[in-house]
Amino acid sequence: MTSVWLPSTGTLRYSPQLGRGGHRRRDGGSTVWWLIVDCDPELGRYLRHQYLLGHRRTRSLQAPLWGPHISVVRGETPPRPATWKRLDGATVGFDYDPQVREAQGYVWCPVRCPALLGLREELGLPREPQPALHLTIGNANG
């Protein structure tokens, strides 16, 4: 079956805070090396609803703490941090496959975005993150 990729946009957010229990450095430093793309909350709600319908209304999802998002840098300390936060608040376009996947209770859609991969390279990180870019829409663990 061939995937259909759909376009969307989001906002770059560096070192996002979650409040209690969020991603923080354990060494007492102030920089949290996370970069996410905030995505449209309505897109997340729609995809979670599709998941619910696909499971005959027997499995609902809890929304992610950051809302629907793409994790670009996940706690990796960049070798070249000089450009960190250079694009904070900028809009970025990406394509996503609306066929949701699930792994270890997290539900997500694959994402393609050369611009985000370029940002990783600019920071001195490997172009391809592990796991690959994806739009997190919720978790079934809650």
- For the stretch 14-59, pLDDT in tens is 999 865 444 444 444 556 899 999 999 999 999 999 988 877 667 7
Residue with the larger pLDDT of the pair 104 and 115 = 115
**Is pLDDT of 140 > 90?**
no
pLDDT at position 23: 47
Share of the chain above pLDDT 70, in %: 86
SS3 string, the chain, reads CCCCCEEEEEEEEECCCCCCCCCCCCCCCCCCCEEEEEECHHHHHHHHHHHHHHCCCCCCCECCCCCCEEEEEECCCCCCHHHCCCCCCCEEEEEECCCCEEECCEEEEEEECHHHHHHHHHCCCCCCCCCCCEEEEEECCC
pLDDT digits (tens, 9 = 90+) for 94-114: 999 999 999 988 999 999 999
The confidence score (pLDDT) of residue 60 equals 75
Lowest mean pLDDT among 3-17, 52-66, 77-91: 52-66
pTM: 0.86
Which pLDDT belongs to residue 20?
Answer: 46
> Which pLDDT value is given to residue 142?
59
Q: Average of pLDDT values for 56-83? A: 89
Average pLDDT, the chain: 88
Mean pLDDT of 86-91: 96
* pLDDT, position 18: 65
